């Protein structure tokens, strides 16, 4: 009886051991399968990550091998707000011809295209030379003949946007934009000054040559200072009033000397003055700013490496602002 019981107990133990071994084998197979599945998932995820890294690296290389618009652009701009009231198609045609002759792609902005948005984007658009054929405003009562830019009376550039007191409210409250009226006219437009150039223009000019073709562009230095700080190399402009017919002829001759004849800015002004003469009414001088860059050429201006640090921008110091209600600033 004991033997039989012992035998049964042993058999039971054997059977139990067998069943346990089967369970262990099944569990082991499941773990192996899980490990293999996990390994495959890890390998798949790693492969996806590597593909993403490779794609990103290739895209980055392709992007870096193609210069940005600002770096690669070789363009010239004519900002022609005056086309609203004083269109001059022949001046535009000559600007296009001379720009193309020296490998610059000309872009023309006329009338209502001359907006605050355009002004804000100018530094990042890759222009090597910009001609502002726009009204430029200063207090008419202070325009006395001077042989150098003065301080305290900032110059403003007209846009082609009619003034509206309910538009650009924040910009008006902070004096980034101001209303300005045409002289002997009733039209009032938004205009920008040194603070807008410094604070609201995006990016930096790439050694751009700036030509202020309207009245009094270099009567004072603040606007020119702002362009220089923004990366412009040279600013040229009239010291006070000029007549439209005269400035178009004079600036056209100046561009020919700068772009085609490739002589220095100083000599270009001399050639322009000797051939076209002075404005018969106002006898206004064309100034070069800063003066220490008068004896370089356009090509040299584009390749300048040193930057001029304007120690005294004078934008916030004792500026005489006009009364917006009376609109005392004129072109």
CATH number of the domain at 83, please.
Answer: 3.40.50.1460
Question: In this structure, are 247 and 313 located in the same domain?
Answer: yes
**Could you read off the pLDDT of 141-181 as tens digits, one per residue?**
444 455 555 455 789 999 999 999 999 999 999 889 999 88
Last residue of a domain, one of 66, 90, 122: 66
pLDDT band for position 226 (50/70/90)? very high
Residues 279, 242 share a domain: yes
Residues 288 and 170 in one domain: yes
285-300 exposure pattern, b = at least 16 Cβ within 10 A, e = fewer: bbbbbbeebbebbbeb
DSSP state of 293: G
Q: What does the pLDDT read at residue 76?
A: 98
Do 47 and 101 sit in the same domain of this protein? no
Instruction: Report the alpha-carbon distance of residue 216 to residue 227 in Å, rounded.
Output: 16
- Give the DSSP letter string of 186-238: --EEEEE-HHHHHHHS-S--SS-EEEE-STTTTSBSHHHHHHHHTT-SEEEEE
Neighbour count for residue 107 (Cβ, 10 Å): 17
Per-residue pLDDT band for 240 (boundaries 50, 70, 90) equals: confident
Q: Determine the distance from the C-alpha atom of residue 3 to the mean position of all C-alpha atoms in its chain, rounded to a whole number.
A: 103
Average model confidence (pLDDT) across the chain: 79
Highest mean pLDDT of the ranges 6-15, 181-190, 239-248, 298-307: 239-248
Domain that holds residue 33: 1-66
How crowded is residue 224: how many other Cβ atoms within 10 Å of its Cβ? 27
Evaluate the omega torsion of the peptide bond into residue 306 and state whether it is cis, within 30 degrees of 0.
no
Q: What percent of the chain has pLDDT over 90?
A: 58
Pull the structure tokens for residue 177. 């934009």
Predicted pLDDT of residue 208: 98
94 and 60 in a single domain? The answer is no
Same domain? For 323 and 195 the reply is yes
Please tell me which residue, 43 or 206, carries the higher pLDDT value: 206
Listed residues 15, 41, 66: the one ending a domain? 66
In tens, the pLDDT along 272-328 reads 999 999 999 999 999 999 999 999 999 999 999 877 655 544 443 334 334 434 443
pTM (2 d.p.): 0.72
pLDDT attached to residue 27: 52
| Helix (H) or strand (E) run with residue 70 in it | helix 69-72
Same domain assignment for residues 97 and 57: no
Q: Quick one: 51 and 161 in the same domain?
A: no
Percent of the chain whose pLDDT exceeds 70: 66
Whether residue 228 sits in one domain with residue 206: yes
Examine the domain organization and report whether 185 and 205 are in the same domain: yes
pLDDT tens-place string over residues 85-112:
999 999 999 999 999 999 999 999 999 9
Residue 144: the pLDDT is 45
CA distance 170 to 168: 6
Q: Total structural domains in the chain?
A: 2
For residue 181, what pLDDT is reported? 84
| Dist CA 264 CA 80 (whole Å) | 25
195-199 long-range Cβ contacts below 8 angstroms, 24+ apart: 195/226, 195/315, 196/116, 196/119, 196/120, 196/171, 197/223, 197/226, 197/227, 197/230, 198/226, 198/229, 198/230, 198/313, 198/315
């Amino acid at each position: 009886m004991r033997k039989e019981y012992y035998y049964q107990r042993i058999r039971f133990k054997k059977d139990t051991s067998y069943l346990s071994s089967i369970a262990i084998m099944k569990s082991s197979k499941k773990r192996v399968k899980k490990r293999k599945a996990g390994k495959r998932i890890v390998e798949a995820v790693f492969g996806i990550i590597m593909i993403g890294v490779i794609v990103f690296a290739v895209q980055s290389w392709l992007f870096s091998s193609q210069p940005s618009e600002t770096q690669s652009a070789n363009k010239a701009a004519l900002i022609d707000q005056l086309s609203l009231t004083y269109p001059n198609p022949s001046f535009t045609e000559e600007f296009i011809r001379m720009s193309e002759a020296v490998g610059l792609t000309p872009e023309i902005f006329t009338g209502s295209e001359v907006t605050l948005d355009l002004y804000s984007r100018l530094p990042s658009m890759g222009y090597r030379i910009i001609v502002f054929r726009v009204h430029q405003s200063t207090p008419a009562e202070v325009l006395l003949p001077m042989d150098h830019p003065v301080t305290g009376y900032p110059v403003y550039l007209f846009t082609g946007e009619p003034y509206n007191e309910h538009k650009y409210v924040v910009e008006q409250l902070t004096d980034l934009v101001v209303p300005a009226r045409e002289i002997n006219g009733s039209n009032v437009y938004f205009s920008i000054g040194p603070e807008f150039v410094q604070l609201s223009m995006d990016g930096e000019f790439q050694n751009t040559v700036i030509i202020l073709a309207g009245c009094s562009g270099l009567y004072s230095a603040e606007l020119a200072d702002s362009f220089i700080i923004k990366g412009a190399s040279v600013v040229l402009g009239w010291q006070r009033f000029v007549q439209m017919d005269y400035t178009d002829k004079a600036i056209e001759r100046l561009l020919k000397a700068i772009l085609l004849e490739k002589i220095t800015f100083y000599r270009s002004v001399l050639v322009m003055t000797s051939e076209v003469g002075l404005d018969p009414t106002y006898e206004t001088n064309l100034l070069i700013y800063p003066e220490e860059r008068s004896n370089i050429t356009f090509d040299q201006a584009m390749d300048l490496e040193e930057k001029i640090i304007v120690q005294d921008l004078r934008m916030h110091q004792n500026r005489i602002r006009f009364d917006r209600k009376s609109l005392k600033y004129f072109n």
